Structure 1
Amino acid sequence: MIIGLTGGIASGKSTVAKMLVDRGALLVDADQVAREVVLPGEPALEAIASAFGQAVLERDGSLNRKALGEIVFRDKEKLTQLEAILHPAIRRTMQQRIHTYAEQFPRRLVVADIPLLYETKQQDLYEGIMVVYVPERVQKSRLMERNSVSEEEAQRRISLQLDIEQKKELADWVIDNSGTLEETKRQLDLFWKSQGLP
């Protein structure tokens, strides 16, 4: 079975992904793949440098994330331009990895961890979507704490994503991560059993 895993920023998606892996799932992480496709020598990095200039590169030719972030997070058009370069490269690599896992381990659960799954309209690529949910006020306070950002900045980052309540509505499975880790684990145990996973 191949499922998509998503949630809102600071909802605890990484924690849930780790719990799934601990149970035997195989994880393909979009953030990890996103780092791989911008390594020196990769076509996506060359495309980024030609679109945004040499200022987004470090001296050693690697990507200067901070410099790129300062450009794209202040300008929606530039963010869209970056996504047009990155998303196809990430998607290709992820699909290759998912299919390799599915062929090699046909009885294992394969989980594609994709923060912007709904925003990038990838829900139809998977047999089902699991959303890690916390109410927006919890998202905001966790984000402020985790990233040491102001309430205003936390709200701005949250607003760049599809509303968490909408994601919850669209989900096949919702894992409410606003309680204790034990409560989250219990929900995953129920999911695991309901799917008859080994």
Structure 2
Amino acid sequence: MLRVALTGGIASGKSVVADVFRSRGFRFFSADQAGRKVMEPSGAAYPAIVDRFGPEILAPDKSIDRSALARILFADAAARRFVEGVVHPLVLAALRAEAARLAGEGRTDVFVSESALTFEAGLEGEFDRIVVVYCDPETQIQRLMDRDGLGRKEAFARIGAQMDAGEKVKRADYAIDSSGPLEETIARAEAVASLLLDEARAGRLSP
């Protein structure tokens, strides 16, 4: 089973590539969803985060208001490191458990972990191949503004809190530029999916 990380900055076009990969039968683990789960009131990360930031980050139902927390984290690097230090080990444990389960089944050629923070969390060593999705900076800013209803300054700050896209591309095995029309991104994703399948079926994994 080929273990693949699908990563890229916020609003870089990962979801389009993920949809293509799913259509090819790849099995997925969403690190972002796992991170949200551990921050639910019943999750292992919830007590430490609420203790650190207080009731002002809570919604009326006592769940963590992710928008309120995000405003703090994108403005405060120390706060962001604290949350990452709590959440990332829990996500890594869930990732390893799911990969082991699928490998044990022996029915999956390609296992994909989708996460915006693969490099930032130091997870690249968990994978055989890394696919980075990127786009030009102006397109990324506009996508984020449109998607999340942010002003330009806030969108720029959130993008700036993550690793530079150029650095991610340098460290990738495959890079997909999503700056152009949707059809081009889909075609590039299809091409990479075929290469990954070829590698998985040939058993050519990284050391």
User: Fold match, TM over 0.5?
Assistant: yes
Whole-angstrom distance in 2 between the partners of 1:36 and 1:154: 25
State the distance in 2 between where 1:159 and 1:59 align.
31
Tell me the distance in 2 between the aligned counterparts of 1:140 and 1:55: 28
Deviations 1:24-57 (A, max 9, x none): 0111011111111112222211111222223333
Alignment of 1:91 onto 2:92:
yes
Residue aligning to 2:83:
82
Tell me the equivalent position of 1:142.
Answer: 143
Instruction: Give the aligned residue type for 1:11.
Output: S
Structure-2 residue corresponding to 1:56: 57
SS at match of 1:43: coil
| CA distance, structure 1, for counterparts of residue 180 and residue 40 of structure 2 | 38
Instruction: Tell me by how many angstroms 1:3 deviates.
Output: 0.5
Give the Cα–Cα distance (whole angstroms) in 1 for the partners of residues 195 and 76 of structure 2. Answer: 44
| Residue of structure 1 equivalent to 2:205 | none
Aligned-pair CA distance for 1:154: 1.6
* 4+ residue runs over 6 A deviation: none
Post-superposition offset of 1:179:
1.9
> Which residue in the other structure is 2:67 paired with?
66
Structure 1 pair 30–56 and aligned structure 2 pair: CA distance change class (3 A)? same
**Paired letter, 2:138:** R
Q: Does 1:9 align with 2:23?
A: no
1:194 aligns to 2:195 (yes or no) = yes
What RMSD, in angstroms, separates the aligned Cα atoms of the two structures?
1.8
Q: Secondary structure in 2 aligned to 1:61?
A: coil
Contact persistence 2:26–2:108 (CA under 8 A): no
**C-alpha separation between the residues in 2 aligned to 1:147 and 1:38?**
21
* Residue 72 of structure 1: how far off its partner (Å): 2.6
Identity of aligned residues (%): 34
Alpha-carbon offset, residue 59 of structure 1 = 4.2
Q: Distance in 2 between matches of 1:62 and 1:144?
A: 25
Output one character per residue of 1:87-112: Cα deviation in whole Å (capped at 9) or x when no partner.
Answer: 11111112211221222244421000
Change (3 A) 1:59 1:139: closer
User: CA 1:104–1:158 in structure 2 vs 1: closer, same or farther (change >3 Å)?
Assistant: same
Unaligned 5+ residue runs, structure 2? 202-207
Q: How many Å separate the matches in 1 of 2:16 and 2:87? A: 25
Distance 1:186 1:69 in 2: 34
1:124 aligns with 2:125: yes
Deviations along 1:98-152, one digit per CA (max 9) or x if unpaired, are 2212222444210001101111221111001000121112111211222222222
**8 Å Cα contact 1:135-1:164 kept in structure 2:** no
TM-score, normalisation: structure 2? 0.87
Are the equivalent residues in 2 in contact too, given 1:2–1:109 (CA < 8 A)?
yes
Shifted more, 170-179 versus 95-104: the winner is 95-104
DSSP 3-state at the match of 2:45: helix
Q: Distance in 2 between matches of 1:140 and 1:168?
A: 18
